[in-house]
Structure 1
């Protein structure tokens, strides 16, 4: 495969759909996952790739200003926002036309759904190379369910052999002249009822697409339940937990077990002086007694480390989380002190994208109970509960 740095590509992200199957007043591409809109993850995924030169986001008129403010606030300078249309093909065509002033006929354009958060760089590269060679390319996946056809009365008429068919997925790639010509020749019927871009390239540009089998993570958010799946995948892929300064081997063992059951990556560091927090977005600190200054200093240092984080993955794109586990025989007194610290600092920490929680534990509290609570806090990472103090008590 050729070096993709020598093959600049552009991306068209149709995001003008209303999400009727999603069942929500807000289109699914703007719904939040981990406190950020879905479309932002998709844009970020492409924007970090050096060989992606232009990203056209096509949205309905009512969301143009919203997207423009969103991409500007995140510094996405490759993004161009274009107004969509009533149907998918018409919206994509608007995105294609927006690239006419910046692309040559032989350049490569990829079309990808805004609600497909997860696409590997290797897939993007493979589709881009294949479309450069053949004029068009797309990915597919095996069908999960058998496809049947009912008659006019609602009775089974035909059952297709699913081994002969595939589910068309995204991204799909094209030579710019191919996809532009296909849309220029498409009929009103195609624009009103069609959904398959590869078929337009075949029908109107005479270009037979090369099909590439894609990985399982090319699914898109379609139904409300998919929001939870997307959240789980993001957490599983991106959350790395570091346990710092915990001298209690039993608690460490419990944390490794419970966090591992969630498929989260866990590392253990003896002290805060020797740990590296740049590549860690979840940190658990262990204290043998409550120290307001220590809690504040540690948290402020995390913010400083966060500013140094220049990784291009989604990890710095998510809020960082810190949980202070404090062992004490006076949890009531510590709770009062913890509340004072949180009231003084929590708003400032939240604005700096740091979620802070305190777990107070009696010395006699079972380590398994503490571990379960800490794991639940990390996995849930609820921003509404940021700044709260929890008591881990055996009852």
Structure 2
């Protein structure tokens, strides 16, 4: 393959800021597409690029080895001539000179630049959240290592892990903690888990799943204070005054895109979703700069603009951006996709239907046995999103229904005898 300038690009330099899945997959695609120029990845961690889902699943509980989370073996970067600047912070983008300045003063020139800077966890804005040891976030390998040590600590085995937030990360860590034998209390301001993402109908399903495994919930509440003893977390106080002992606190209240570099460089940002505004080819307001993964806010038919923080988006948008950087025709229009494993429940979710955006939820299968599909329908009967729990090989048909945008018969949708492909 050749670049848009009719050459193999041997004289060009493509720089990727971000050492995660999106950046690593972009580098891989550049080489697979025949790009012969320099490929440089700048990552602020000392680790080689790795995938994040295992951090709240297999790696956290010790079932997945550290080597298994890396996107590529370290030797891959050498053999494919991908230059790594690990443990280096990109501190400035000079768009006029097309240079990236690193924290140590190094200037890295680029012909095309990919921002794959990801996201960072929100911090708890309460007393004790910053001054005490034992307040955790889960975004990096080191975070998972520290949290596993806490969960396996038998000196405080009666004290629970207190999880602030019942989103995907909060629930997955709760499941991991229970598997490791640690008690768990989840404090969530909404009336059910995942309320804003899945709505109350599915939220009740997850409530039952976790309560069966011993997780305690405090719905409609927030943490007001984290108390300590000898500099270490000792407990929490909720906003209604309840005091709960705690071995540690996990802040799982969402993330924000890492846009500081883009903002300082004057790139257009999305006011509604956050993130860096990109077009369908993942190109930013600067034609030489692209964005992929958690930080990219891309156009989505029917929903305006989306910013998706899930693994599949990083997996697919990094390669799409790489092809666009090479001058290929690219339209990034994938249906958002997410997967999760909690206890004996495996699930996949496709689409986008936050609470308040849909008219009804249609179930197919046995909800009580947690072997079912759920579909979120618009007032016109269009499938906005679908979730399959312990039912497999249906993601393709579910996503086809979402893409089609056509109304479906709710009764036929609920009937397991009706093939999804026939709807």
Q: Quickly name the TM-score band, shorter chain normalised.
A: under 0.3
- Which structure has more strand as a fraction of its residues? 2
Larger radius of gyration between Structure 1 and Structure 2: 1
- Which structure has more helix as a fraction of its residues? 1
Query: TM-score scaled to structure 2, two decimals?
Result: 0.24
Query: TM-score scaled to structure 1, two decimals?
Result: 0.26
